[in-house]
Every structure is written in C-alpha cells, then in structure tokens.
Structure 1
Amino acid sequence: IQISNACACIVGSEHAEKLHEVRETLENIPSEMIFEQAESVPTETFPSANLLLANFPGDRPQPPALPRGDAPMCYIYTSGTTGLPKAAIIKNSRWFSASCLFGRGLLELHPGDVNYVPLPLYHSTGMFAGLGSSLLTGATLALRTKFSASNFWSDIRQFEATAFVYIGELLRYLLNQPASPEDTNHKIRVITGNGLRPDIWTTFAKRFQISEIREFYGATEGNAPTVNLENRPGMVGRLGPGQSILRCDLATGDVLRNSDGFCEKVAVGETGLLVAQISTTTPFDGYADKAATEKKILHDAFAKGDRSFNSGDLITLHENWWISFADRVGDTFRWKGENVSTNEVAEILNDAPGVLESNVYGVLVPGADGRAGMASLNCREDFSLEDFTSFVIEKLPGYQRPYFLRLQQDMRITGTFKHQKVDYRKEGFDPSLIKDPLFFLDGSQYLTVDQDVFSSLQEGTRKLR
C-alpha cells in the first residue's frame, strides 16, 4: 500500500482486522478513507463499502460528446485592412488540418523544438502556425504578449527558439533595427509566415542567416492556400488544383467574362483575381454574417452552377505555375488610364535613400481622372526630400509617381502588422485633418501642402502635372 502511494483503500473482510493493526503506519491514507468490502458477514472494523455503494446514485452522468469535425471551434476576425473585420467561422476540421500543415509540413516541428510566436492568437497565423502546430507536434510554444523589434532576437536566444512565425511588415521592422554582431547568434532553422516582400527577402535572409523561409499565401476564411517550400524570393507558392487566376478589372476586381458568359484565365506574366473552386475537399465555411459569406462566392465561373471562393486578392502568374502576391482588390487604383499597384510602387520606394517603409494608396482629387498616388513614409533622420524627388523621377514612370507625400514617425498598421489604408484614403491630403508634414509633386519638385495649396487643388485652379 505504501509503495503504491494510494490515498484510499477497500479491503476484504478477511483482511480487515489485520489492516486495522497497522493502519497507524499508513502515511498517505487517513482512516476515513479505508472501507471494508464484505462478501458475507462484515467485521465492522471499517465503514462498509457495500453500504456506501448502495447509497450512491445509480445514474452516471453522460460523458460529453466528442467534438465533430464540422462544428465551430472558434471565430477569427479578418484583419480589416480594406474594410470592417468579419467573423470567419473556424471549424474543428479546419483548425486541425491547418495546424497539421504548419506543424508537420512547413515548420517540421518535433517535441524538442521551440516555436517563438510574437503574434496575437486572435489572428489565424498565431492560432494555426503558433498554438496549433505546437499542440499537434509537442513542440514548446514561446508566446510573447506583444511584438517588440528591439527585444526580438534576445527573446529568440533566451528561449533557444528553433522556429518562429511572422506576418505583414514584421520582418521589415527587424531589418530596420541597427545591425549587431548578435544578429546571427541564434538557433533558428526555419520560419514561416506571409507578407515578406521581395525587396527585403534576400537581405533579411543574408543578414540574419535564415536558411529556410517558408512563405505561404492564405486567407483566414479562404480555401486556396499555397506554400513556397523552395526559398524562391517573392513567390507564395504554385497554383494548386481548383485554383485559378481570372482576368478582371484590376481597379475594381470585377471579373471579365467572354461572349459565353464565362470567366477566362490570365496568361503567364499577367495579373488577375485569385479564385478557388468550392467543393467537399476545399470547402468555404464563410462568416457568421450570411450576407457577407454570399458576397465572397463567385458563381458560374467556368460552367453553370459552379461556385468559387473570391479571394479578393490580385495575384501574378509566373512560369511553371509559380505565383506572387500583387495587391488587394481596392488597393490597386487607376491613374492617367493606367492601373497602379500599391505594392509594386511601395517596393520601389522602400529602396529610396532614407526611407524605412512606405505605404502607398490612391486619393481622390476633384476634376482628376482616377486617383492620384499618395505615399506615407517612415524615414530615417538623414532623409532628404530633394534626394527622394530625384529617386522618384528616375525610378518611376509618371503614372506611378506618388503625387502626395505624408511623412510620419510611426506607420499606422493593423493588429497583424499590415498597413492600414482605409483611414489614410479618407484623410487624403487635407492639412486640416493631418498634422504630419504634407507635400505634393508639382512637376519636378515636392512643395508643402498648406491650406491655400489644398484649396487650390480642391477648386481646380492648380492642376497635377
């Protein structure tokens, strides 16, 4: 009894008196937890187990039902980069399969690994690639309350992390930190996430000596995930079965249909709308709001009655089915008859002298055809407006140049490190709404936007050239 560390005991009547003699030596079992099980006449040395069981309710509580794969596990709100967040339904089967994809497929975690997660768990990457992959593989989860660029690598060393997850502009913020001899003092063997832009991919991998970067594409609610397992900078993977890139109006995202009323796929080198067939193997679970769910479904793309998930993302097709992210529908805008990709322009501006990061969007100018480009810039102390102007004129054609600039200390981002554009577009270049320095491109030089200049642009007495 002592060896078993038992805290209770039921003894037969034939051994009851013997046990009574030594009960004072039993360290772990109080007397009231010893019961006698009598086959015939009890000795009454200990309380009767028969009587106790007879008085015990016979109806046992039903064990809770096992969770079903098609039952909701949680709701995850979309990031809201281009509108209000929506509650995406995450079913148990989706959580499980996504966690397997990240834990086993992308990060290849094992019980000895430590997965560092500086992202909130209310976002799908933190939930699936962070918590889910650790639970399914037995790897340790190192979860930081809030991302800190300055403490990132010291955390990595402290927890001896072997993998971490990222999203949006997170890696750019790490790259913007001062270089240190400790940059390569870590045990990271693989990272995964989405939003690593091609303008910093190679630089980041070389500076921090990250040999495996597993960039993926996918929406919280979507059914069209892709994965780049080959470390090819700028790519988010290859098109999979049931996935297509359709010809569309790049400014509105409206699909273009042929004379038969069906959609057409883009050719290599072209950009279009990514969609994915909705089927039993690639379901679209939608949102809590049924109307919002229906808006994301494209009907009759290739045949009457078919249904596809509309990703809302513009994707560029490359050779051998490789694809790269181009822009969000609604972010690309039209100016001077040309479509302007905000991501493409931002990647170029990020290379300008003194620029740490840029956020590009289109703003309305009364009397102008389309939207004029505007860039919010986070700059170093050595930023020169004159040098930036020369860079813009040399590197960008007229229709891609940012006609308006907004200089900021801190870029406005979502909770998942994606650039916020909706509020910026609403504020435009109005100096009464914006306290940051504002400039507009007047031919070959940027001039300060004050209330007089703003009024002249609004009234049409001053034209954009």
Structure 2
Amino acid sequence: MSSNTQNDLIGIADVAARLPQFINKVPNLLTGLKQAYLRTPNTPSGLGLAFERAVKRNPYGDALLFEDQRFSYKELNNWANQIAHYYLSLGASKGDVITVMIENRPELIATVIALAKIGVTSALVNTSQVGKVLTHSINLVNPIAIIVGEECRAAVDEIRQDLNIAADRFHWFADQETLKDIGQAPEGYTNIAQVIDDFPKFNVPTTHKVTGKDGLFYIYTSGTTGLPKAVIFTNSRWMLAFGTYGHVLNLNEDDVMYCTLPLYHATGMVVCWCGVLAGAATLAIRRKYSTSAFWTDVKKFNASAIGYVGELCRYLMDAPESAADRDHRVTKMIGNGMRPNIWSKFKQRFGIKEILELYASSEGNVGFSNIFNFDNTVGFSPIPYAIIQFDKEKNEAVRDKKGYCIKVNKGEVGLLLGKITKRSPFDGYTDPEKNKSVIMKDVFQKGDSYFITGDLVRDIGFRHAQFVDRLGDTFRWKGENVSTTEVENIVSEYSKITEAVVYGVEIPNTNGRAGMAAITLSENETLNEQDLTNMVTEFKKGLPAYAIPVFLRIQEAVETTGTFKYQKNKLKEQAYDPKKTSDRLYVFLPSTNCYCEMTDEIYKNIEDYKYRF
C-alpha cells in the first residue's frame, strides 16, 4: 500500500471520528449558509440588519463589555441609533464614506453599527498610522467626515491641513465613558457625544434599505506602491463571513468572546464579531493586547471563546505557567496564524478544545475554515480555488505547453488562487489598476479568472490546506502586514541613506518575519552613535512600531536584476547572520531606543530566544 493511500485512509478515519462533534453544529451551520448564499446583491442584508435581529433575540443580554462598562443589546442599539439619526440629519446617505479612527472601545463599536444602519461605509484607519501614510489613507476614500477618538487626535492634527475634509466635519469622542461624561471638545472639532443627545433612540428606517452590494467597511492592506490600499468590504461579503465563520463558531446567548485584536482589522471586526452576533452572544474587548492581563480579563469577563492571531498565541506560550492558565471556561478560539509547532501544546496548556483556524484576506474572494477541528490546518473551503505550481526564482506561475497553469499534488506547496464567480466575486480595491494586477486570466481554460492571493499553501487533501508563506512585497510581523515599499520609502528619507531594500527574515520561535533593511549610504558618509539613535526616532515618525526594521545591513551597492528589481533572495538567505556576510549588521533590540552593532554573542542570544521581539 502506498504512503499516499495510507494517508488517505488515516484522513478518512480522522474525519469519521470527528463527525459526531461536527453533526452537532450542522443545524446552525445550515442556517448560516442559507443566510450567506441565498442572497443577491440587491437583497437587504449586512451588519446593521444582523445587529437589529440580535437585539430582538436578546434585548437585555450583554452585547458589549469593556473595562467596567457593560451594554445590553438594547442599550447599544439605542446609542447607535442616536449616532445614525445625527448623521442622517447632516445629509449622510448610502454610498458616502466616513473615516473612523478610534481605538478598541465602545465608541468605535457604536459608531460602526450606526454607519452600517444608514449605508455609510466606515473607513477603518489603522490607529497606528501617522504622517504621509495617514494622509494618504484618509484622502484615498474621499470621506465626507472623520470621527476621531481623543487618543488619535494628535496624529490627525499633525496632517489636518492636508486632508480633503470640510473644516466643520471633524468629529470627536473624548477618551472616556462618553455616555456619562461627554467631555470638552478641542477647538475645531464637533463633540459627537454632545450633539447626539437630542436625537431619537428608535431604529432608523434605512437599515432595511442597505443591500449586499453596498459598502460596509474600507479595510486597509499594505500596498506594493509603498502606501496602503483600501479594500472595499461589502455587506454581502460580511454576510458571507457571518453565515460561515460566525455560525461555525456556534456561540449562544451565554457565551462571551474576548477580543484584544485591533478592530480596524477584519479578524477582529468581522470574524470575531460575526461569531458573537450569530449567537446574540457577548463581545468583550480590550484597548490593546496585554499578555499579563490576558487570562485575568478572560476570568473577569467570564469569556468562553477568544479571538487570536499567531503572535498573540506565542506571547501567551512564552509567559510563565500559572494557575490562571486553566482557571477559565474558554474552550473555543477563532483566528489565524497558529504555528504548527505550538498548536498541540497551546491546546493542552490552556484547555482549548477547538481551534477554528481560518484563512482569508481583506481583499480576497476565497476563505478556509477549520470546521472539522483538525490540527495544523486552515481548514476546508467551499469556495472554488486552485493551488498551482509557482517558480519563486522567476516569481511566476509554472505553465504547461498549452500555456495553462499546473495544480500541485497532495502534500505539495503552491500559490493559492481563488476562482472568480458570481458566488465568489472579487470586490476589489479603490484603484482599478491594482485590481488588474491581482487577477490571473486563462488559468486552466480560456476565459476563466482567478484572484491571486499572493500566499503559498500546502494541499493536504480533503479540500484542506495549510498556510506556508507569503509572497511579494509584504510580510507579516506582530500580526500586521508590512509593506516593504512603504518602509523603503521612509527609511530612504534619512539624510545619510540613499537607497534601502526591505525584506522579512525569520527569527526562531517568533511568528511571521521581522523587518530587515539593506541600506546604502551616501558617498563618504558613515553611521555614528548618534545616527543609531536618530534613525529610530525618525523611523517612528513615519512608521507604526511593527514596521520599523529590526535589522539593518550596510551595503556599498544594491544588487538588482536586469529589469532593475532588487535581488532579495540572497539577502533573505543570509539574513542577520554575521558569519554569512562581511557587511556591517545592526539590530534594534527590545526595550532599547537605538540600533546596536550585531555581534556573534548577540546573534547567538537571538537564536537562543533570549530576546522577546
């Protein structure tokens, strides 16, 4: 018997063993799939409608927990309605866009619900953005207004004169419990908490007029031009996530989902919250992730499920073991990026029974979900997709003599493509030219079209896959996508640097890839001790913390291809090992404020995981 046949038989046996657990979910899953697929672009649907249905189902149950604040579904709905009525009074209507820049707190949730109810698209700006990048992100989507939390106001004030927003449309929430204390708005801002007080709390009439084709969110993803791309997330797409991920999680009114992920990302805002709304359960949020407070919060909120990304799981595994590891009722978790080398250990240490690992991207049309609760897989996909052979050296798909792509065999790694159909459309970016660059035509036959995910996955059979790596001009670090071009542009602005090549390198026992910049200095320039501090200071002004290069490499010249593309493969291979290059290497170590020169001792300590990057 061949090894492939044996593996198939083992796989069939594993599926059979898990069927009883899966069958319990089937009624709820079928309900979700009906909502996800039995719809048209013109069908009333989306977040606003789903939220109002959850309000009817569980009006006095907890909808949202934050710190010591608690909101029932009815209370949260009343608050959102006041915000919605206010924006209707300003003339906001379906198709408009409003930028929202508030950290994880109730004001963000209430605002998003409000705008969803009136068909206005919320542009969910990354709250870490500053300077030119923030200006670009806001102006890109032509918002009619901006809603800013006090915690983000300094970043907005710095670029306010560059924003294409009317002076009287800068709206503000105090950084406090604004339903009890509205605060005093700074000059030039309208205090939302104050102006909504006179508006009614009943449901707005517009919710049932919002259809699947209407925009719900703009979610920002790293761009190859060096600036973020805005991805439109329609209500129809939200319903697909709601009907699949939301119902697979199978929560009910007694469940609490604890989410520390930033809500400007789809994993938190869409996946985690979908699961909550599908079961009229409770969402518990925290401003920012904290390892030391994680299980304390879980206990405080009596959470039964958690949202995660791989980096979060690693941080929890790195923390010293304690009684709190099992002193909770969490049995389920949903997210992405769980590393295979800690998967089983994590379940055992923290008493987790189900890891609903998933695969999806903000702009993509294909998704996987681990509905059978297998280990080390992103799960199953009902969406048509293909995993094709890909030549990383040439950076192109491998094609046969007829010019068509070739699917990988079971167990092999290839490029994941999502077939574009009526049921799995590609909603796209704001820029039509960018849409062209991510669509591959004539893949297996003339006239077909597939979305290029840019991700390498392993085909493990039974329509299941395992995530392997990310291609192209982005890499993932600390749960965030980092645009190499964006970082290259900021690094190159430093006065002594003429050119920078940025790429991701792996550090043992961490998730994703840390940023490394191979830089070329101006003629006759050298880096002194002050430069090593100044560079960190300057990079922080233009980049979020996760995008600042961890490593620097000083090169005399940048090696390019015949078409002037940077040769990154060799740089990635040599990484930050001082034995593999004579170039000077520097590292930005945790809890420091400057780069220091890489030594053999520091390199060994990094490899031995003595620094917590």
Q: How many Å separate the matches in 2 of 1:227 and 1:301?
A: 25
The C-alpha deviation readout for 1:107-157, integer Å capped at 9, x for no partner, is: 211111111111122110111123333233210110111111110100000
Where has structure 1 moved over 4 Å in runs of 4 or more?
A: 79-83, 360-370, 374-377
Q: How many Å separate the matches in 2 of 1:89 and 1:357?
A: 28
Q: How many Å separate the matches in 1 of 2:379 and 2:224?
A: 23
Task: Select the residue among 237, 242, 245 that pairs with 1:99.
Answer: 242
Q: Which residue of the partner structure matches residue 287 of structure 1?
A: 429
* TM-aligned CA deviation for residue 408 of structure 1: 2.1
- 358 and 139 in structure 1: CA distance in 2 versus 1, 3 angstrom threshold: closer
Q: How many Å separate the matches in 2 of 1:195 and 1:238?
A: 16
Tell me if the contact between 1:76 and 1:90 (Cα under 8 Å) persists in the aligned partners: yes
Question: Do residues 371 (structure 1) and 570 (structure 2) align?
Answer: yes
Q: How many Å separate the matches in 1 of 2:424 and 2:235?
A: 15
Q: Which residue of the partner structure matches residue 25 of structure 1?
A: none
Equivalent position amino acid for 1:285 in 2? D
Q: Which residue of the partner structure matches residue 413 of structure 2?
A: 271
* TM-aligned CA deviation for residue 207 of structure 1: 1.1
Question: Do residues 190 (structure 1) and 332 (structure 2) align?
Answer: yes
The C-alpha deviation readout for 1:247-276, integer Å capped at 9, x for no partner, is: 112256411222211111112232111001
Show the 5 A alignment for 1:16-35.
none
The C-alpha deviation readout for 1:27-76, integer Å capped at 9, x for no partner, is: xxxxxxxxxxxxxxxxxxxxxxxxxxxxxxxxxxx954611111111211
Structure with the higher helix share, 1 or 2: 2
Q: How many Å separate the matches in 2 of 1:86 and 1:358?
A: 21
The C-alpha deviation readout for 1:305-356, integer Å capped at 9, x for no partner, is: 11101001011222444321111103799xxxxxxx978x65xx32xxxxx6
Tell me if the contact between 1:360 and 1:375 (Cα under 8 Å) persists in the aligned partners: no
Show the 5 A alignment for 1:193-208.
193-208=335-350
For normalisation by structure 2, the TM-score amounts to 0.48
Q: How many Å separate the matches in 2 of 1:117 and 1:435?
A: 33
Q: How many Å separate the matches in 2 of 1:82 and 1:322?
A: 33
* TM-aligned CA deviation for residue 163 of structure 1: 0.6
Q: How many Å separate the matches in 2 of 1:233 and 1:342?
A: 27
Q: Which residue of the partner structure matches residue 227 of structure 2?
A: 84
* TM-aligned CA deviation for residue 363 of structure 1: 6.7
Q: How many Å separate the matches in 2 of 1:142 and 1:332?
A: 31
- Aligned with 2:436: secondary structure? helix
Equivalent position amino acid for 2:427 in 1? D
Task: Select the residue among 435, 442, 448 that pairs with 2:595.
Answer: 435
- Aligned with 1:99: secondary structure? helix
- 190 and 292 in structure 1: CA distance in 2 versus 1, 3 angstrom threshold: same
Question: Do residues 409 (structure 1) and 590 (structure 2) align?
Answer: yes
- Aligned with 1:135: secondary structure? helix
- For structure 2, the 5+ residue unaligned runs are 1-203, 476-502, 519-554, 560-566, 606-613
The C-alpha deviation readout for 1:399-428, integer Å capped at 9, x for no partner, is: xxxx978462169xxxxxxxxxxxxxxxxx
Tell me if the contact between 1:114 and 1:163 (Cα under 8 Å) persists in the aligned partners: yes
- 438 and 144 in structure 1: CA distance in 2 versus 1, 3 angstrom threshold: same
* TM-aligned CA deviation for residue 232 of structure 1: 3.1
Tell me if the contact between 2:259 and 2:286 (Cα under 8 Å) persists in the aligned partners: yes
- 225 and 406 in structure 1: CA distance in 2 versus 1, 3 angstrom threshold: same
Q: Which residue of the partner structure matches residue 249 of structure 1?
A: 391
* TM-aligned CA deviation for residue 436 of structure 1: 3.3
Q: Which residue of the partner structure matches residue 513 of structure 2?
A: 359
Question: Do residues 210 (structure 1) and 210 (structure 2) align?
Answer: no
- Aligned with 1:312: secondary structure? strand
Q: Which residue of the partner structure matches residue 68 of structure 1?
A: 211
Q: How many Å separate the matches in 1 of 2:224 and 2:371?
A: 27
Question: Do residues 297 (structure 1) and 439 (structure 2) align?
Answer: yes
Question: Do residues 315 (structure 1) and 315 (structure 2) align?
Answer: no
Tell me if the contact between 1:117 and 1:141 (Cα under 8 Å) persists in the aligned partners: yes
- 277 and 86 in structure 1: CA distance in 2 versus 1, 3 angstrom threshold: same
- Aligned with 1:150: secondary structure? helix
CA RMSD of aligned residues (A): 3.6
* TM-aligned CA deviation for residue 215 of structure 1: 0.6
Tell me if the contact between 1:194 and 1:217 (Cα under 8 Å) persists in the aligned partners: yes
Q: Which residue of the partner structure matches residue 269 of structure 2?
A: 127
Equivalent position amino acid for 1:359 in 2? R
Tell me if the contact between 2:376 and 2:466 (Cα under 8 Å) persists in the aligned partners: yes
Equivalent position amino acid for 1:164 in 2? I
Q: How many Å separate the matches in 1 of 2:570 and 2:216?
A: 42
Identity %: 37
Tell me if the contact between 1:252 and 1:329 (Cα under 8 Å) persists in the aligned partners: no
Tell me if the contact between 2:504 and 2:515 (Cα under 8 Å) persists in the aligned partners: yes
Equivalent position amino acid for 1:288 in 2? T
Tell me if the contact between 2:355 and 2:373 (Cα under 8 Å) persists in the aligned partners: yes
Tell me if the contact between 1:100 and 1:133 (Cα under 8 Å) persists in the aligned partners: no
Q: How many Å separate the matches in 2 of 1:98 and 1:305?
A: 28
Q: How many Å separate the matches in 1 of 2:412 and 2:245?
A: 30
- 405 and 91 in structure 1: CA distance in 2 versus 1, 3 angstrom threshold: same
Q: How many Å separate the matches in 2 of 1:136 and 1:117?
A: 16
Show the 5 A alignment for 1:109-120.
109-120=251-262
Larger Rg: 1
Q: How many Å separate the matches in 2 of 1:205 and 1:232?
A: 12
Task: Select the residue among 394, 402, 423 that pairs with 1:260.
Answer: 402
Q: Which residue of the partner structure matches residue 427 of structure 1?
A: none
Equivalent position amino acid for 1:408 in 2? L
- Aligned with 1:73: secondary structure? strand
Tell me if the contact between 2:255 and 2:281 (Cα under 8 Å) persists in the aligned partners: yes
Q: How many Å separate the matches in 2 of 1:342 and 1:73?
A: 32
The C-alpha deviation readout for 1:269-296, integer Å capped at 9, x for no partner, is: 3211100110001111011122112211
Q: How many Å separate the matches in 2 of 1:119 and 1:175?
A: 17
- 311 and 357 in structure 1: CA distance in 2 versus 1, 3 angstrom threshold: closer
Q: How many Å separate the matches in 1 of 2:443 and 2:458?
A: 19
